[in-house]
Amino acid sequence: MTGEPALVDSNIFAYAFDASEPAKQEAARDLLTRCWTREAEYSVSVQNLAEFAVIVTEKVANPLPYETVQEFISAIWRFDNWYKIAYSGDTIVKALKIRSDHAIHFWDALIVATMQEHGIDTIFSEDRQLPNLPLVTVINPFRES
C-alpha cells in the first residue's frame, strides 16, 4: 500500500456481527481488532458506516438493536486510530464518471472516488466488482491463502 491506511468496506463491519458466518465473523473481528489494539491503522468512510447501519438493522435475519449500532459507529468515530473520510459533491461527479467508465454500481464507484480523493489505494472487501477495477487494490480477508 502506498497511500493512506487501507479502507475497511461495509461488508467487513457487517460480518464482524454475523454469527451465521463464523469463519467470516472471526476473520472480520481479527482485522478490526488489529485497529482497536493499534497494531494497524485503517480508514473508514462515512458511506461505509451508513451502509453498515442499514445492513445490520434492515437487511439481516437477526437485526442488531439500534443502540448497539450507534455505540459501535460512535466508538469508531471517536477512536483516533481510524482515519475518517467523507465525500463531497465533487466526489459524486467523479463517481459518476468512474461508474460510466468501468460499468460498476454507483455506490462502489463512490467509495472508489472517495478513496482516490483521500490518497487511499487499498480496500479490505469481499465485493465482487471491485477486484476487476484497476483503480484500487482489493484485499479479501475471507479468502484463504
Residue 28 is assigned to a structural domain of this protein: yes
The pLDDT of residue 1: 42
| Grid coordinates belonging to 7 | 479502507
| Grid coordinates belonging to 120 | 487511499
* Average pLDDT rounded to a whole number, residues 79-107: 96
CATH number reported for the structural domain that contains residue 13 in this entry: 3.40.50.1010
- The whole-model pTM stands at 0.93
Amino acid found at 103 = A
Distance CA 105, CA 120 (A): 19
Distance CA 93, CA 98 (A): 9
Question: Which residues form the domain of 128?
Answer: 7-138
* Average pLDDT rounded to a whole number, residues 103-123: 96
* Average pLDDT rounded to a whole number, residues 53-61: 96
**Strand residue runs (E) in the chain:** 7-8, 42-45, 82-85, 122-124, 137-139
Amino acid found at 119 = G
Size of the chain in residues: 145
As for how many domains the chain has, the answer is: 1
Residue 72 is assigned to a structural domain of this protein: yes
